């Protein structure tokens, strides 16, 4: 038996019962943002955890308004837009470099990148290489069969192959990350160093996998600001320690051997992206825009909720200012 859906009036009654102040046209707010997306997605900073535990259901802190959740949603949207723009730029750069280095050594036809011999010889990665090749074959077949991509169809029909630089147009960020991770060690090193002299292949692989998760949340309009907590639940690994962590003077915990911020939060994503944009700010993270949106949020929600957002994202005013100074 399926779950019984609630009406709009019932949703408003639930919120009122849980101590949320309902502003004028609250019904229109729920229609625009959706109850599940807005309330379940952005309730965390506003929940009274003690009363909620006692009641066995969510109960909001006194003075919490539905407008507060909307303000947090708006901040999250700005954050997603800013990071996605940068991640897409990184994706283009990575695909270009992979195509260049791979094609110069092995060629660019799909017989080259569908050949296991073109990838790492590490026996422990054999199954990952085979899985990657299977995924590439499946993607080509999907776009060819459904006529979803004119260039794929053209090259299959005309040349019976899809060159790597055309494959790049249908390769998603996650697959691209796996492609890089399964290249030979020397090729991975060359690509990493061409991006940033401080990058090692291991660090770059970790960064790409971290950004894959961030990109997926941005692209699918999922809640992003609380990534640190979501990540713990999914057991996604944190990014490795980077030289910029020290440069940023982020507090270090000698017992856990981890930085307090910047390894498993939104600040970590910003630090990852900084490794690609050390020479130019034109495509870099707009730290000023993020700080401005945080200040706007602080003006429109309770102080404790705003402090929660700063803490869970790692985006303190001090750190954002430091990033701006480094890449100014």
pLDDT in tens, 10-66: 999 999 999 999 999 999 999 999 999 999 999 999 999 999 999 999 999 999 999
pLDDT band at 231 (very low <50, low <70, confident <90, very high): low
pLDDT at 328: 61
pLDDT band of residue 238 (cuts 50, 70, 90) is confident
Q: Evaluate the CA torsion angle 220, 225, 230, 231 in order and state its sign.
A: positive
pLDDT tens, position by position, 80-137:
999 999 999 999 999 999 999 999 999 888 889 999 999 999 999 999 999 999 999 9
Residues 295-323: pLDDT tens digits? 999 999 999 999 999 999 999 999 988 88
**In the structure, what pLDDT confidence band is assigned to residue 280 with cuts at 50, 70 and 90?**
very low
pLDDT of residue 198: 85
* Residues 176, 178, 180, 185, Cα dihedral to 10°: 180
Rounded to whole angstroms, what are the CA distances from 245 to 14, 204, 270, 297?
Answer: 44, 16, 11, 26
Q: Do 53 and 174 fall within a single domain?
A: no
Q: What is the mean pLDDT of the chain?
A: 90
Q: What was the pLDDT predicted at 282? A: 44
65 and 125 belong to one structural domain:
no
Q: Which domain holds residue 252?
A: 72-326
* In a shared domain, residues 58 and 114: no
Residue 179 confidence (pLDDT): 97
Given pLDDT bands bounded at 50, 70 and 90, which one contains residue 284? Answer: low
Question: What pLDDT band is residue 149 in, cutting at 50, 70 and 90?
Answer: confident
Task: Name the phi and psi angles at 194, rounded to 5.
Answer: -75, -20
pLDDT of residue 325: 77
Q: Which residues contact 129 (CB under 8 A, 6 or more apart)?
A: 116, 119, 120, 182
Residue 321: how many CB atoms within 10 A of its CB? 13
Residues 57 and 144 in one domain: no
Distance from first CA to last CA of the chain, Å, rounded? Answer: 58
Let me know whether 25 and 171 are in one domain. no
Q: Would you state the pLDDT for residue 286?
A: 81
Is it the case that residue 5 has pLDDT exceeding 70? yes
Cβ-based neighbour number of residue 280 at 10 Å: 9
Note the pLDDT of residue 278.
56
CB atoms inside a 10 Å sphere around CB 131: 13
- pLDDT (0 to 100) of residue 212: 92
Question: 284, 274 in Cβ contact below 8 A?
Answer: yes
- Say how far apart CA 182 and CA 248 lie, in whole Å: 32
Same domain, 179 and 122: yes
Same domain for 83 and 155? yes
Lowest mean pLDDT among 125-134, 136-145, 168-177: 136-145
Together in a domain, 107 and 193:
yes
**pLDDT: is 47 or 143 the higher one?**
47
92 and 193 share one domain:
yes
Tokens of 327: 């890449």
- Give the chain's domain count: 2
36 and 104 in a single domain? The answer is no
pLDDT of residue 72: 98
pLDDT for 235 equals 45
Global confidence as pTM: 0.90
């Amino acid at each position: 038996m399926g779950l019984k859906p609630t009406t709009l009036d019932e949703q408003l009654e639930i919120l009122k019962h849980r101590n949320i102040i309902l502003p004028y046209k609250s019904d229109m707010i729920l229609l625009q943002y959706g109850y599940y997306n807005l309330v379940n997605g952005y309730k965390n900073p506003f929940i009274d955890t003690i009363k909620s535990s006692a009641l066995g259901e969510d109960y909001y802190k006194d003075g919490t308004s539905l407008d507060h959740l909307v303000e947090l949603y708006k901040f999250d949207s700005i954050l997603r837009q800013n990071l996605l723009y940068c991640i897409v730029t990184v994706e283009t750069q990575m695909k270009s470099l992979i195509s260049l280095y791979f094609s110069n050594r092995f060629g660019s036809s799909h017989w080259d990148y569908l050949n296991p011999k073109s990838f790492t010889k590490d026996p422990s990665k054999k199954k990952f290489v085979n899985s990657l090749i299977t995924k590439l074959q499946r993607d080509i077949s999907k776009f060819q069969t459904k006529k979803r991509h004119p260039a794929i169809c053209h090259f299959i029909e005309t040349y019976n192959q899809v060159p790597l630089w055309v494959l790049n147009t249908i390769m998603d960020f996650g697959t691209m990350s796996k492609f890089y991770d399964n290249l030979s060690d020397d090729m991975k090193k060359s690509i990493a160093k061409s991006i940033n002299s401080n990058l090692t292949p291991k660090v770059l692989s970790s960064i790409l996998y971290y950004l894959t998760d961030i990109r997926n949340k941005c692209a699918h309009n999922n809640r992003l600001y609380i990534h640190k907590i979501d990540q713990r639940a999914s057991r996604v690994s944190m990014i490795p320690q980077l030289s910029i962590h020290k440069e940023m003077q982020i507090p270090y915990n000698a017992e856990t051997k981890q930085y307090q911020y910047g390894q498993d939060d939104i600040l970590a994503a910003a630090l990852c992206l900084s490794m690609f944009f050390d020479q130019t700010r034109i495509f870099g993270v707009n730290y000023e825009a993020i700080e401005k949106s945080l200040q706007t949020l602080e003006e429109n929600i309770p102080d404790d909720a705003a402090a929660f957002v700063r803490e869970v994202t790692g985006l303190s005013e001090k750190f954002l200012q430091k990033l701006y100074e480094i890449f100014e």
